[in-house]
Amino acid sequence: MELIEGHRPVTPADGIPVLDVDPYDPAVLAAPHDYYSKLRQAGEVVFIPRYSVLAVGRFATTHKVFSDHENFVSSRGVGLNDFALEPPWRPPSIILETDPPEHTRARRVMARAMSPKSARDLGEMFRDVADRIVDRIVAAGVIDGVADLAEPYPTQVFPKAVGMKDTNARYLVDYGAMVFNAIGPDNELRRTAMARAGEIVPWITGACTRERLTGDGLGAMIYADADRGEITHDEAGMLVRSFLSAGVDTTVTGIGNALWCLSQNPGEWDKLKADLSLARPAFEEVLRYTSPVHTFGRTAGRATQIAGFPVDEGTKVLCVLGAANMDPDKWGDPEVFRIDRRPSGHIAFGAGIHGCVGQNLARAELEALLQAMVARIGRIEPAGQAIWRPNNAIRALDRLPLRLIPRAR
Ligand code: HEM
C-alpha cells in the first residue's frame, strides 16, 4: 500500500467533516488562529485530506485523545510518520515515543531528576543568570527579544543544570527546531532543518555521554540511576538526549512568547509589577494563549472511536493543542490575555502519562526571569514588527524588536 507522509491513508467514517486546509503551510503556521477556529467549528473530529489524517481541536476532545494512551499510542511516533511502517529519522525517544510498560520505567527516572526539589535547588543559579542578562538588556535599551533574551537565558542555564562540560548554544536551539520540524510532513521546513542533521546530531550524541557531563547535574542523576540498574547506560544516554531535544527550544519559545504577550498588553505588565506573585500564573496564561507546542500527533493503536465516530487502527490523529487552548467553550474569552486568569487545565504541557516531565524546570526558569525583569524594567514596548518563525510543531518567534524602559528606582 502506498503511504502518505509515512502513514497509512485514512478512510474517514461517514459523517466526519472534511477540512480542506494545509495546517503546515508556513502562512498558517505563522498566523494559525483562523485555522484553529475553523477546526473547532467543523466538528469534534475532522478529516484533513491533504495529509490523510484526522484532527481534533475542541478542548474536551483534544484532551481526551491526547491523554488516552491505551487507544492512541505514542510508540508509533507523535508526528505524521508511523514508526510501525517506516523507520524514524533517529532512534525513537525512550520516553516521548514509547508506551507503558517501557514508558513507565524511563518516566520514573526522568521525573526524579526533574522533581520540584531539583527545580528549587536550581533556583539560585537561574536567578543569577537572569539578573545578569536582564542588566545587560536594560542597558542596551532596544533589543531583539529572541536573540538577546529568549535564546541566551535557557542556553546558559540549561546546560549548567544538565551538567554539560562544553556547550554550543546554536546547536542546542537548532537541534530542538529540527526535532520539532521532523514531527511534520516532508515539507520545506522539515527538509531545511534536516539538512543540518549531519552537522548537529553527532555533536548532540557526543554531548549525552557520561564523559562530557559533570558529576553534579541532572545528567549525572540519570547515569546514577543506570548504575543502580534502573535503566541501562545506553538508555541513560538516550534520556539525556531527551533533555536536549525537549528542554531548550521549548523554553526559548516560551520566553519569546511571554515577552511578546507582555509587550502587547502593557496593562498586564503593570499588574505583574504591582504583584510579583502573579509571575507563575502569568506564565501559565502565556502558555495557554500561545501554546509553544501547537500540534503533536497520536496513532490509533487499535480500532477505537472519537466522539462516537469509528476510527481504524493505524489512523494518525493531529491533536491541535493551540486550538484547544483557545476554545471559547472552555475559556469563555480566550482571545483576552489576562495574567490573573489562572488557566488551570490548559494543555500546553500536554496531559496524561506523557504530560511534560520538565514543567517544574520550565516554570522555575520563567519565574526567575520574570522576577529579574520586574525588578529592572518599567515598560516593555514593541519597537517594530514581531516576526514568527514557522515550525511544524512549535509556535515560536523569529524576531521581536522591543524597547525596554528602565524602572524608576
Ligand atoms: C515552555 C516549555 C515547555 C513546553 C511548552 C513543553 C511542552 C511539552 C508537551 C506538550 C509535552 C507532551 C508531549 C506528548 O504528550 O506527546 C511534553 C513532554 C515532554 N517534555 Fe516538555 N515542554 C516544555 C519544557 C520542557 C523542559 C524544560 C524539558 C526538560 C528539561 C522538557 C522535557 C519533556 C520530555 C522529556 C517530555 C516527554 C514526557 C513523556 O513522554 O513522558 N520539556 N512537553
Classify residue 19: in a domain, yes or no: no
Residue 106 CA, closest ligand 1 atom number: 41
pLDDT score, position 232: 96
In short, whether 358's Cβ falls inside 6 Å of ligand 1 is yes
Digits of tens for pLDDT over the chain (409 positions)? Answer: 899 999 999 999 999 999 999 999 999 999 999 999 999 999 999 999 999 999 999 999 999 999 999 999 999 999 999 999 999 988 999 999 999 999 999 999 999 999 999 999 999 999 999 999 999 999 999 999 999 999 999 999 999 999 999 899 999 999 999 999 999 999 999 999 999 999 999 999 999 999 999 999 999 999 999 999 999 999 999 999 999 889 999 999 999 999 999 999 999 999 999 999 999 999 999 999 999 999 999 999 999 999 999 999 999 999 999 999 999 999 999 999 999 999 999 999 999 999 999 999 999 999 999 999 999 999 999 999 999 999 999 999 999 999 999 998 7
CA 14 – CA 2 distance, rounded (Å): 23
Classify residue 92: in a domain, yes or no: yes
CA 309 – CA 13 distance, rounded (Å): 6
pLDDT score, position 331: 98
The structural domain count of the chain equals 1
Q: Using only C-alpha atoms, what is the Rg of the chain?
A: 21
Classify residue 13: in a domain, yes or no: no
CA 273 – CA 278 distance, rounded (Å): 9
Distance 274 CA to ligand 1 centre (A): 31
The upper half-sphere exposure of residue 75, i.e. CA atoms within 13 Å in the direction of its Cβ, equals 13
pLDDT score, position 254: 98
pLDDT score, position 408: 86
In short, whether 393's Cβ falls inside 6 Å of ligand 1 is no
Q: How far is CA 351 from CA 236, 255, 347, in A?
A: 24, 21, 6
Classify residue 36: in a domain, yes or no: yes
The beta strand positions in 276-358, using DSSP E, are 295-300, 304-306, 309-311, 316-320
pLDDT score, position 1: 81
8 A C-beta contact, residue 376 and residue 382: no
Structural domain for 376, as ranges: 26-406
C-alpha cell at 265: 498588553
In short, whether 254's Cβ falls inside 6 Å of ligand 1 is yes
Residue 254 CA, closest ligand 1 atom number: 1
Classify residue 8: in a domain, yes or no: no
CATH no. for residue 303?
1.10.630.10
Distance 234 CA to ligand 1 centre (A): 21
Distance 89 CA to ligand 1 centre (A): 20
For ligand 1, mutation pick of 105, 250, 260, 288 (most atoms within 8 Å of CB): 250
Question: pTM (2 decimals)?
Answer: 0.97
Distance 32 CA to ligand 1 centre (A): 21
8 A C-beta contact, residue 313 and residue 301: yes
Residue 298 CA, closest ligand 1 atom number: 16
pLDDT score, position 151: 97
Classify residue 170: in a domain, yes or no: yes
The size of the chain, in residues, is 409
In short, whether 126's Cβ falls inside 6 Å of ligand 1 is no
CA angle 310, 311, 313 (to 5 degrees): 135
pLDDT score, position 409: 73
Classify residue 64: in a domain, yes or no: yes
Classify residue 377: in a domain, yes or no: yes
φ and ψ at 174, to 5 degrees? -70, -30
